[in-house]
Amino acid sequence: MSLLFPMDSTQAHSTGVQAPPIITFVGRPAAREKGLDVLLDALELLEQRVARSFLCWIIGGQDGDMTPALQIINERPALAGLVRQGRLQFWGRVEPEALPELYSRSTVTVMPSRYEPFGIAGLMAMACGSPLIASAVGGLQHVVVHKVTGYAIPPDDPLALAWAISGFLRPNGQRQPLSRNGEVWAQAFSMDRVAAEFRRLYRGEREPAFSAFQNPLETIAEACLAGMKPTYAAAGPVTARLRHRHATEWHETPTGHKVRKTLDTWPTADASMFDLPQALRTPSDAEHIARVLFHRDAPWAVPVEDVDILSRTLTFPALEGADPGARGLRAISGLLEAMRQHRPVPDALTQEIDGAWRTIKTNRRRAELDAFDMLAATLQTPVLGAADVFQRAHPGVELVRLALHALEGAWPLDPRQKKAIPAVCQSALDILPDVLPPPMLCHGDVKRRHVLRLGDRLVLCDFEETHYAIGSFDEAQWLTYEVLLTEGDDGVDWAAQEIAALFDKNDWQAMTVAWCVSTLVYRGLWCAMRGDVPVLDHCLGLAERLVNRYVMT
């Protein structure tokens, strides 16, 4: 960020991020439009509802500017306690030269503004590698790219802010990929680049090449791809038209149309939502590619023509989107069943998984969950060649995980939600059969847009979530997405009918319902962390109705 900071983001990152997580606010504390009172409300919610330690730095202003904030703090025991413990710190005015160091040490920077003409502080934070949570007002709507460089939340909403912050309070949280994208995005606003574009425009040379406000994802993608060697460099110059549906690029080469997909490691819901064993990592680029290679010659997969490890790029023939519709799950059920029969898990490992599950049913504790997660990670060895990546593998374990985290204060739930999550999870656990099938291969994220047409047959794409799981994981994912797209109870009724039509055995129907319930709760929590808090109650209601519908039939 030349001319904005005397210190570049690479240098700023040399210090790393300290623990516990640091939440940073930069602005005039006394200015109501900056929303410090909204942050204080959110911090109070976090302190009361979330069993997580954190620091909060309030940077900016003179001594007199602190009076309104201190009045709020003195009236609230939870906030006063944060100050006494040194976890809520007022820095006052800080010299501009010191800000890069503070931003780079921040786990996340928050701007809960009620009004902001642009939001230069947020841009500076991203330039130094700090993800940004900002109100969707004024210029901030263009500064933060929602779910890519941080999160845009409703203004004047302390609960939404608390949820968004909570996703950064875990050791394996989502900071790294958001930080990387934010640094790339901030460079698009550098003074040199913006000035150069204005000069070209005023001279009438051409239209500005940079249109950040119109195409932020394209800007980030182009910057990330700039240093990559083209997969088809030998074929001559490549003309690319970016089509960001499905994160693919279509290229015209002398040999015809190709699809080049660049893999990226985005923030994972698991890392921000759950306390996972430290030994389990977020999937890497190499592991994403390993999954694709695993399916390379499978009849259910898009044929891969080339894999460029250095540029993390895969190349496919140009295929058509099939869009089989809501009931298209039946059309691809044969593909999913074929995947389940592929490379079965050894009996000995299946028995270990079953034994670990029975231990969890008896002792619902974090230690048992961690032990199961490490054991279940070994299931992924045939796919990844490694055993250190978390995947949801067992419907019962995921229901126990959700209930336990809710009871332990992992999220800023209100008292009603804190009771509702364990209750709905227990109702789904009650219908699970005692004897479950062995883990089997699944797509991991099957939905309409992952179904393509190759000639006269359907194939699947996007295997970055492929793993081994017990029961009908794929069918439950599909049904859950479709239920969420349907208004009212019609989606639940339809899902129950589809489950009965897909599986003639009660055990498989019960497992599908259990997976649907865990995914609905999971999705509700994930949306709440991204500023859409009401979705959680909606998902809990859908989960409860689905279980009741199954029990009644």
Whole-number pLDDT of residue 210: 47
Say whether pLDDT at 438 is over 70: yes
Of the segments 317-331, 379-393, 516-530, which one has the largest average pLDDT value?
516-530
Both tokens of 319, joined, read: 């295929």
Residue range 11-55, pLDDT digits in tens? 444 444 447 899 999 999 989 999 999 999 999 999 999 988 999
Q: Which residue has the higher pLDDT, 306 or 491?
A: 491
242-246, 251-255, 440-444: which has the minimum mean pLDDT? 242-246
Both tokens of 113, joined, read: 């503004």
Mean pLDDT of 471-492: 90
Whole-number pLDDT of residue 284: 67
Both tokens of 312, joined, read: 């993390």
Mean pLDDT of 275-299: 79
- Please report which confidence band the pLDDT of residue 382 belongs to, taking 50, 70 and 90 as the band edges: confident
- Please report which confidence band the pLDDT of residue 486 belongs to, taking 50, 70 and 90 as the band edges: confident
Whole-number pLDDT of residue 290: 81
Mean pLDDT of 181-202: 81
Q: Which residue has the higher pLDDT, 162 or 293?
A: 162
- Please report which confidence band the pLDDT of residue 400 belongs to, taking 50, 70 and 90 as the band edges: very high
Checking DSSP bridges between strand 451-454 and strand 55-59, what pairing results, if any?
Answer: unpaired
Both tokens of 339, joined, read: 């995947």
pTM, full prediction: 0.85
Whole-number pLDDT of residue 16: 46
Q: Which residue has the higher pLDDT, 207 or 536?
A: 536
Buried (b) or exposed (e) across 32-68, using 16+ Cβ within 10 A?
eebbbbbbbbbbbbbbebbebebbbbbbbbeeebbeb
Whole-number pLDDT of residue 204: 75
In angstroms, the Cα distances linking 105 to 28, 42, 58 are 20, 21, 14
Cα-Cα-Cα-Cα torsion 423, 427, 430, 435, nearest 10 degrees, comes to -110
Mean pLDDT of 512-536: 94
Residue range 62-98, pLDDT digits in tens? 877 888 899 999 999 999 999 999 999 999 999 989 9
DSSP string, 128-190: TT--EEEESSTTHHHHS-BTTTEEEE-TT-HHHHHHHHHTTSSTT-SHHHHHHHHHHHHHTT-
Residues 6+ apart with CB under 8 A from 531: 151, 152, 153, 154, 157, 160, 163, 164
23-32, 328-337, 414-423, 424-433: which has the minimum mean pLDDT? 328-337
Say whether pLDDT at 207 is over 80: no
Residue range 440-477, pLDDT digits in tens? 999 999 888 788 877 788 888 888 889 999 999 999 99
Whole-number pLDDT of residue 373: 93
Q: What domains, with CATH codes, occur in the chain? A: 9-187 (3.40.50.2000), 273-552 (3.90.1200)
Mean pLDDT of 494-515: 93
Say whether pLDDT at 309 is over 90: no
**Contact assessment for residue 412 and residue 49, using Cβ atoms and an 8 Å cutoff:** yes
Mean pLDDT of 131-150: 91
Whole-number pLDDT of residue 220: 63
State the average pLDDT for the chain: 83
Residue range 218-242, pLDDT digits in tens? 666 555 544 333 332 333 333 233 2
Mean pLDDT of 287-295: 81
Whole-number pLDDT of residue 240: 31
User: What 3-state DSSP class applies to 439?
Assistant: strand
Quickly count: other Cβ atoms within 10 Å of residue 180's Cβ. 17
Q: Which residue has the higher pLDDT, 67 or 109?
A: 109
Whole-number pLDDT of residue 388: 78
Residue range 153-162, pLDDT digits in tens? 999 999 999 9
- Please report which confidence band the pLDDT of residue 389 belongs to, taking 50, 70 and 90 as the band edges: confident
Mean pLDDT of 511-533: 94
**Contact assessment for residue 416 and residue 393, using Cβ atoms and an 8 Å cutoff:** no
